[in-house]
Amino acid sequence: MRNAFSDLAGFVKSSKDSNYHIHRELPYRFYDDTTGIFENHHSLGFGLSLSVLGGANDDLVSSLNAIICTLPEGDKWDYQFVLVGNNQVADLIKQNTQAMAIRGGICEQFATNQGIYAQHSAQQGFSTRLNKAYHYDLKDYNACLFVSTTDSKMALQETKDMLAAELTQCGINHTPVTPVALMTHVREHLNFNRHQDRPLPATYNEFETINTQTLSPDSEYLLNRTYVDTRHTPLDSDDAVRTRIVNLGLARLPNDFRLYGFSNCLASLKRTANSLQCPHRISVHFRVEPSGEQITKNDSKIQSLTKIVESKMRLLVPSAEEELKERKELQHGLMHQEYKVATMVMTVSLYTTEEKARTHTTVATSTFREAGLNLVRTNMLQGQSTLSTLPFAMSEGYFEDCKKAARTRTMKTSNVVNFLPIVAEYKNFSGGVMVPTMRHQISYFDPFNCGSDNYNIAITGGSGAGKSVFTQLIAQAIHARSGKVWILDKGSSYKKLTLMLGGTYMTHESIFLNPFTHLDKIEEARDAGTFGDITDDDGNIVDPIALVLDNITGLIGSMASPREELETYQEAMLGDAILIAWKKMGTQTRIDDVQDALYALAKEKNDDRRISDIAAQLNKYCSAGVYGDVFNKPSQLDPTIHITTLELDGFADAVKRPVIFALMVAINQQMYLSGSRSTPKMCIIEEAWSMMGGANAQAREFINTGYRTVRKFGGSFCTVTQGIEDFFLNEEARAAFNNSDIHITLRQGEGFEKFIKENPKHFSPYEQNMIKNFPRAQDAGHSCAMIKAGSYTSFHRIFADPWSRSMLSTEPHEFEYCETLINQGTPLLDAIEKTAMHFNGEAMSEFAALLATYSARQESHP
């Protein structure tokens, strides 16, 4: 009985013990909805979610320094910038998958496969043909600013309003951090869940203190000399999650580090194996030291150094003279308020596992070192490093702890700015083709939503660059979102894609290009107002028929005079003749009728040879001419078809150029007949410019006119060549390049070096080096591209799942094998599947297993 009593007493005693929980270390208590301020244990604070910048320059550095110089000084005020990078991108992938699956059928299969592959690769990394040191995954970066103080709420409110206005002036968009956002931010740090594939907002109850509802009740933390092991059970799961947090700090201040180089800390573009391979959080906290105290201390130091320099003591202190010079520069800067003095703490937290902690830490320190920052583990201070980086924690006493631990660094505010983690990578979530940046930021490419002035694209890439697959992905993405695509092909590269998507594939035998065939439909659409008004650059409404007739004039002018320029008078007479013929014959107008009208005008003008010569030069394009059928039979292009490929092989070389020009006119008309300016519309011209010989202003002006027209119709021309030098071989190609606001450069061939020598300023030295180091798609298992859209330049990798890659492959052996199967009567999709299994059986089997796993998971967790 004695043991029973003892056990019972022990039970009762233990039930009364005051058990310690980590939430007691969290300072957050309440939130004032009116002011947007958090009321903490010993401080007040607010937060702003910041838009992550894709780059920076010296002007931005100066502006940020000016903002910091206006912030309140002293030990009552703390400022913290945080950058978080993780793999929680499933929502973004799902959003794009849904948009790309609208048409259903094969488009839905494309979208689903690409979405599953992206979700898998986001956390596991894309499969490549490189060694395991190269880890390419998908991340999203988000930044925050937290300000806390032990001063009054009114003073904090004034600082909040000032910062909001100043950041907006700098082009940094921001939104207030709400209790839900703060709780989510803290939970993602102390209760990190590597299995979580999308952001999960916390649940906030305004009647409870914030600190008690932020973390999982069973959170456990095991402090080690070099890391912190955590364990918790997420609310939406029954399985505990274990995470190892490794904190790193600055070993020493760098000699030179710039804000615009901060993104190199996330991933190196030169040594692509160097990157932050696991989710991470970068925190930079600082206080602005009181200027008066700093000026006094500095003046005192100057006096002491002056005595040393002016005495024989300088022989014993050789560095005194240089330090005196620096102190005088500091004195000048402080007196003129060019900067102030700040004390900074930088912490990098890695969220990893026991198995991968050493690798992730080693690669992270190597990546930062290459970027110019030397980091070390904060040994014996891992617990402090974990908790001190929480929002508002420094105002709760942790700043003094960091000072005692010698983790603080004192510097000018103009230098502090360079450490602010607000520069990551360009991102575009508009949907379309997934093109992760080379720093692993998930991003998409959509020519109609990428910040360019027009939607025209110039793509260039040598053999083996992955150009064909990428261009087909663009075409497939536009078609999938209810867009329309026309492709001028050369070599049947797009035949499989076109037939797969239920489009029309036309060879030279069935291509007829009478430019007048659809003018009545254009008039009907104009009169019905279905397309909406079309305006010129000055905002004046333009008649679409006038635009189309202008295009036709340029076309027939280039047909009549392919080598020499027409005089202004001749162009005017040709335009009159076209108008006369069309008013007389309507949609039945032929080149013959234009010729007759020219002869009639020549006769009216006293047999003017300038006009009759144009008519005579059209002979071979008239009905009885050698190319009569091509330009006089009614156009077979159907505006109701959503993807059409026209194979140019088979046309005689002499007629290829006018055929391409005629197709551009016809497709411009089709774009207007698409029904709406908002409908995505693209014409892809594959390897066509090499067939456009004969440089003159007539052809150049035709290209310019055609590109301007397509812009007014909300469409896009996408021109593809084998090398950047091809765009400068003739005036037509150059005009197409100059009219394209989007330039996409993939791996180049042997002609790149010669092009750089002849055009040294076309690419910056940095861009040249990057392009030269793009790997062959076959060697790396992916493509690389530099995308210039308007004022933005970014570098990307292009991945395709094994199924899509097989669908779009133009590799000669695979193409021939598939064509043989089709000719033997095998259905198209079956032929493609068999080809894929024959050449890429292992990858296809692995992908099939991944699809099955994903399907099973969806059934168990719908």
Q: Write out the H or E segment, with its range, that includes residue 3.
A: helix 2-15
Alpha-carbon dihedral angle through residues 845, 847, 849, 851, given to the nearest 10 degrees:
-140
The residue type found at 354 is: E
Please write the tens of the pLDDT for every residue from 597-654.
999 999 999 999 999 999 999 999 999 999 999 999 999 888 889 999 999 888 888 8
- Measuring CA to CA, which residue among 5, 178, 147, 17 is closest to residue 79? 147
* Portion of the chain with pLDDT greater than 70, in percent: 96
- Measuring CA to CA, which residue among 35, 374, 324 is closest to residue 178? 35
Going by pLDDT thresholds of 50, 70 and 90, the confidence category of residue 141 is very high
What's the whole-number mean pLDDT along residues 117-126? 95
Alpha-carbon dihedral angle through residues 821, 827, 828, 829, given to the nearest 10 degrees:
-110
**Domains in the chain, start-ordered, CATH in brackets?**
21-88+140-289+340-419 (no CATH), 513-635 (1.10.8), 812-860 (no CATH)
Beta strands in 110-186 (DSSP E): 140-149, 174-176
What's the whole-number mean pLDDT along residues 397-405? 95
What's the whole-number mean pLDDT along residues 311-322? 76
The answer to whether 440 and 267 are in contact (CB under 8 A) is yes
Please write the tens of the pLDDT for every residue from 231-255.
999 988 889 999 999 999 999 999 8
The answer to whether 68 and 422 are in contact (CB under 8 A) is no
Of 855 and 95, the one with more pLDDT: 95
How many residues does the structure list for the chain? 862
- At 692 the pLDDT is 55
The answer to whether 563 and 541 are in contact (CB under 8 A) is no
The answer to whether 486 and 667 are in contact (CB under 8 A) is yes
Q: What CA–CA distances, in Å, run from 428 to 207, 441, 443, 602, 794? A: 39, 9, 5, 57, 11
- At 240 the pLDDT is 94
- At 181 the pLDDT is 98
**429-455: b or e for each residue (b if 16 or more CB lie within 10 Å)?**
bebbbbbbbbbbbbbbbbbbbbebebb
Distance, CA of 743 to CA of 461 (rounded, Å): 11
Q: Is the pLDDT of residue 691 over 60?
A: no
Q: Is the pLDDT of residue 309 over 80?
A: no
The answer to whether 425 and 263 are in contact (CB under 8 A) is yes
- Measuring CA to CA, which residue among 282, 373, 648 is closest to residue 491? 648
- At 326 the pLDDT is 76
- H helices of 258-356, in order, are 291-309, 320-335
Going by pLDDT thresholds of 50, 70 and 90, the confidence category of residue 102 is very high
Give the phi and the psi of residue 87 in degrees, each rounded to 5.
Answer: -100, 20
Answer positive or negative: Cα dihedral of 304, 309, 310, 313: positive
What's the whole-number mean pLDDT along residues 415-427? 95
- At 400 the pLDDT is 95
Mean residue pLDDT across the chain: 90
Q: Is the pLDDT of residue 18 over 70?
A: no
Please write the tens of the pLDDT for every residue from 446-480.
999 998 989 999 999 998 899 999 999 999 999 99
Q: Is the pLDDT of residue 511 over 70?
A: yes
Q: Is the pLDDT of residue 226 over 60?
A: yes
Q: Is the pLDDT of residue 1 over 50?
A: no
- At 130 the pLDDT is 87
- At 14 the pLDDT is 66
- Measuring CA to CA, which residue among 426, 525, 433, 421 is closest to residue 479? 433
- At 645 the pLDDT is 95
3-state secondary structure 495-564: HHHHHHCCCEEECHHHCCCCCCCCHHHHHHHHHHCCCCCEECCCCCEECHHHHHHHHHHHHHHHHHCCCC
What's the whole-number mean pLDDT along residues 23-43? 95
Q: Is the pLDDT of residue 522 over 70?
A: yes
- At 693 the pLDDT is 55
Q: Please tell me the least confidently modeled range out of 61-75, 289-303, 505-519.
A: 289-303
Written as six digits, the tokens of 816 are 């021939």
- At 362 the pLDDT is 97
Please write the tens of the pLDDT for every residue from 545-571.
888 999 899 899 989 888 788 889 999
- At 439 the pLDDT is 96
Q: Is the pLDDT of residue 836 over 90?
A: no
- At 94 the pLDDT is 96
Of 829 and 375, the one with more pLDDT: 375
Q: Which are the contacts of 67, defined by CB distance < 8 A and separation ≥ 6?
A: 163, 166, 167, 170
